């Protein structure tokens, strides 16, 4: 399966701490994306990193990609209670027309 | 405002009663898709459409139908719903299947 797999499944931290989530995948990719989902709502795109990129930043988000290890990490710095959500990685595959989503990491930020 | 809309947002129905969930986008996207989300299984793609009159199966197409007669609309049809189709459904659109996806707010379906 090309589906990404997030780790950990759940993460609980105090407000102000950093949160790190990981995604591993199985096949070669062209890009990897991270999405956020607030409880029961639609997913919101956070960041896209292409296979020839190693790191990307967007505000308090930092994404890294290691294609040799087939893994990516999402770092949220100085977390806030509003960051409480589920985070999903999504990968394409060489020749694929679609994205494949993982099962997500549930992040809880305690005020 | 750029958005993907879905209707209805909540639906309770009975086994075998045909239903349609509508999806519409106002971003002139060519690509649209449907996903279902179940606890522990993440998002699984049901069907997708690369353009008008072009549709294809995703990972879990059984029991579903779609059509793409206009660029903006991509309805999901359950001709004979069964309890195992109880789920949270999302429509999404984008410029391409592997590009940034824009998701609708979701439709929560309960089949009794």
Distance, in angstroms, between B102 CA and closest chain A CA?
7
Q: Do A31 and B98 lie within an 8 Å CB cutoff?
A: yes
A32 contact residues in B (CB cutoff 8 A): none
- CB contacts of B35 in chain A (<8 Å) are 101
Q: Does B39 touch chain A (CB under 8 A)?
A: no
Mean pLDDT in each 10-residue stretch from start to end of chain A (111 residues)?
Answer: 80 97 93 94 95 96 97 97 96 80 94 94
Going across the sheet that includes B19-25, the strands are B4-7, B19-25, B76-78, B65-66
pLDDT at B98: 87
Query: Six-digit token pair at B52?
Result: 């008008």
Instruction: Compute, in degrees rounded to 10, the torsion defined by CA atoms A2, A38, B19, B11.
Output: 150
Q: Read off the pLDDT of each residue in B13-37 and give the average, rounded to a whole number.
A: 97
- Going by pLDDT thresholds of 50, 70 and 90, the confidence category of residue B42 is confident
In chain A, which residues have their Cβ closer than 8 Å to the Cβ of B50? 97
Greater confidence (B72 vs B39) lies with: B72
Instruction: Report CB contact under 8 Å: A43, B101.
Output: yes
Contact with chain A for residue B34, Cβ under 8 A:
no
DSSP class per residue in B47-80 = EEEEETTEEEE-S--TT-EE--SSSSB--EEESS
Q: Tally Cβ neighbours within 10 Å of residue A65.
A: 21
Contact (CB<8Å) B90/A41: no
CA distance A15 to chain B (A): 27
pLDDT of residue A94: 66
In angstroms, the CA B23 to CA B41 distance is 23
Nearest to A46 by CA among A26, A32, A25, A28: A32
Identify the residue with better confidence: B42 or A38: A38
3-state secondary structure of B32: strand
DSSP A81: G
**Which residues of chain A have a CB within 8 Å of the CB of B95?**
none
Cα dihedral across residues A68, A8, A40, B85: positive or negative:
positive
- pLDDT-based confidence at residue B104 (cuts at 50, 70, 90): very high
Signed CA dihedral, B72, B50, A34, B89: sign only? positive
Q: Which residues have a Cβ under 8 Å from the Cβ of A31 and sit 6 or more positions away?
A: A48, A49, A50, A51, A91, A92, B98
Which chain B residues have a beta carbon less than 8 Å from that of A35?
101
- Look at residue B78 and tell me whether its pLDDT is greater than 90: yes
pLDDT attached to residue A54: 97
């Amino acid at each position: 399966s090309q589906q990404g797999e997030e780790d950990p499944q759940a993460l609980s931290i105090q407000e102000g701490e950093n949160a790190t989530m990981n995604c591993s995948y199985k096949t070669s990719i062209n890009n990897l994306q991270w999405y956020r989902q607030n409880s029961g709502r639609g997913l919101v795109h956070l960041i896209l990193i292409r296979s020839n990129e190693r790191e990307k930043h967007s505000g308090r988000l930092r994404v890294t990609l290691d294609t040799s290890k087939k893994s990516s990490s999402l770092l949220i710095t100085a977390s806030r209670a509003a960051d409480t959500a589920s985070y999903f990685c999504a990968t394409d595959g060489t020749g694929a027309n679609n994205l494949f989503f993982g099962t997500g990491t549930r992040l809880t930020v305690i005020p | 405002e750029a958005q993907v809309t879905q209707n209805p947002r909540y639906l309770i129905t009975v086994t075998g009663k045909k239903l349609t969930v509508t999806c519409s986008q106002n971003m002139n996207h060519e690509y649209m898709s449907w996903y279902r989300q179940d606890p522990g299984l993440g998002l699984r793609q049901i069907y997708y459409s690369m353009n008008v009159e072009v549709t294809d199966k995703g990972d879990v197409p059984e029991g579903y139908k779609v059509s793409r007669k206009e660029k903006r609309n991509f309805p999901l049809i359950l001709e004979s719903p069964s309890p195992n189709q109880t789920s949270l459904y999302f429509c999404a659109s984008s410029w391409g299947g592997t590009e940034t996806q824009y998701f609708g707010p979701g439709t929560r379906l309960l089949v009794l």
